[in-house]
Chains A and B, each alone.
Chain A
């Protein structure tokens, strides 16, 4: 057993009431192993930032958590519900888990308000008026209530991503997953999206954020996870991570990007 694995286990067991649990998770794409024995527990209201070079399995890992990808071995559970073949379990996990994508993936044929109200109305059977009231609240929270009647194509990238966040929040998820939410944005729009995410973190949302925004990691993260080649290499607090990294691969990565 290497040092890094010990570190991971030590860290994972520290979390008392885990909302998300990954135990010995493996994932293959054909013969390529994208995830190698991933172990991670995330507690209630914790903000975990996942960093690492491209192709390191960061996105794959969080996509496994809401079953956009199927893991091949190990155990994944969200809020005590284990992800299995059972479609009801999968649906239940997806209801509890919001996801924000790099490419926003808003529904272009629906207005902003319809984007936000669709899932609550269809999945949770919330009445229309109630869904719209909640949607307007959320749009105010992401600071674009005035765009409610517009279509996604009429908004800037930053605005679209904020709508996407509101759309996920509309399902009142316990956990939010962010898959490189600012990577497709023009530089001047990154700030507005990060601000919304910081608000969310302060409000106590449990979040896993895959990002290259080190400033965000430093400021908001409770823990930082560094991944490389499908493995979790190192886990620690931001101070530990940015001032005193233990692993060679972490040091190399940080030296390249900072």
Chain B
């Protein structure tokens, strides 16, 4: 533009980035209109036409299915204890970082730290608040308040405990007791409601977490097996990985549903959630094995040679030198696989007839109050949204973890 003496920066930016050539201009106009239209429809759906009362009415069903009402406080208590547990892990990690001088929190002020937490978990917190606003009873509020207080308390406790030094005879049993807390919570819950009756979002979350925890060691072992010098072990690992990776997860779930009855009487056959979790574990382990193998291959030979030349045993070479680096190098891919697993838990509904969140969100549209009103869009959108919040938070945390672990290592 030669006519205007000094075009404003914004105008320059628009011209450069949106209307550089006639073709660019056409694209800008077309996609601009499309974006406006989609946004308008979306906003209109969410705030005007959608009838969210089906969610509010059925929130308990969506979250925990037919969990017995009188046993709901157990979930709240378990959540609060796990919040204390999780908080104290944060505290322990922080204390360790301070000891090693790698803490980035130390130089952060309280407002920055709060801002950091909001950036990390803002969407999660906002979603929890939204869910709380949809509830009609005080129970969930009490649980949420308890969890927040518990997490803060745990953080403080962990910070103090992490500063102390423990002799080995105290540290090892202490760590074991600490690791056993989530398992204890599991038994506390199935004491009231057996695993076979865990439904709704609770099932999805539990199946995903159990699957992630169980598939991890199996995946690492398979990866090591595939690189083993022992031919039989290598062959078996490779065969397992390739067969499982070649099978659709949904088919495996269907198989888990029907095939066990051929082999064992139904009275002693494992319950459906167990079958689902086992299938998820075996399936994800095969993918994880390939991811871990990639990580193992990224470690230069010199690392192992140095470890060997120092006289480290083969187990120590792996556990102290190779695996820490290999697993760190493939964190994004690993978390990606875990996110997949989390979302794939919705296949258990149709595959095994478990009333998971997706199954609930379909079932509730058939209730007398809502039947024939086409509310499936609302319930599916809500379900998709919750899974997105979970997945997105995991993804963000994985990026952060990767950044943090990368500090000072290369």
Contact = CB atoms under 8 A, between A and B. Distances in A.
B306 A105 contact: yes
Contacts of A91: 311, 313
Interface stretch (B38-46, B143-151, B226-234, B321-329): B321-329
A153 B410 contact: yes
B408 A123 contact: no
B138 interface: no
Interface string B307-351: 111111100100011001100100000000000000000000000
Interface in B67-116: 100-101
Contacts of A97: 309
Contacts, number: 72
B348 to A, nearest CB: 37
A103 B302 contact: yes
B111 to A, nearest CB: 29
Nearest to B317: A122
A150 B310 contact: no
Given A108-B409, A151-B408, A151-B409, A167 B101 contact: no
A167 B310 contact: yes
Given A109-B325, A109-B328, A149-B100, A123 B302 contact: no
Contacts of B410: 108, 153
B305 interface: yes
Given A105-B302, A118-B320, A99 B408 contact: no
A171 B311 contact: yes
A109 B324 contact: yes
A91 B408 CA distance: 31
Interface residues of B, number: 23
A257 to B, nearest CB: 26
B303 interface: yes
A149 B313 contact: no
| Most central of A97, A105, A171 by chain B CB within 10 Å | A105
Interface residues of A, number: 30
A22 interface: no
| Most central of B303, B325, B409, B410 by chain A CB within 10 Å | B409
Contacts of A39: none
Contacts of A123: 310-313, 316
Contact of B100 (A68, A94, A108, A111): A111
B16 to A, nearest CB: 39
Given A94-B309, A103-B302, A122 B409 contact: no
A122 B308 CA distance: 12
Contacts of A105: 300, 302-303, 305-306
Nearest to A120: B310
A172 to B, nearest CB: 11
B321 A107 contact: yes
Nearest to B303: A105
A122 B302 contact: no
B327 to A, nearest CB: 10
A122 B101 contact: no
Contacts of A153: 408-410
Contacts of A216: none
A78 to B, nearest CB: 12
Contacts of A99: 306, 309
Contacts of A103: 300, 302
A238 to B, nearest CB: 27
A214 interface: no
A91 B312 CA distance: 8
| Most central of B320, B321, B325, B328 by chain A CB within 10 Å | B320
Nearest to B314: A87
B306 A101 contact: yes
B324 A118 contact: no
Given A101-B305, A105-B302, A106-B306, A154 B408 contact: yes
Top 8 closest pairs, chain A to chain B, by CB:
A105-B306, A105-B302, A119-B310, A99-B309, A151-B408, A94-B311, A95-B311, A153-B410
24 contacts: A66-B308, A66-B309, A91-B313, A94-B310, A95-B311, A101-B306, A103-B302, A105-B302, A107-B306, A107-B321, A108-B409, A108-B410, A109-B324, A109-B325, A109-B328, A119-B310, A119-B311, A119-B312, A122-B313, A122-B316, A123-B313, A153-B409, A168-B309, A171-B311
Interface of B: 100-101, 300, 302-303, 305-313, 316, 320-321, 324-325, 328, 408-410
Given A118-B310, A118-B312, 7 more contacts: A91-B311, A101-B305, A105-B303, A109-B409, A111-B100, A119-B310, A119-B312
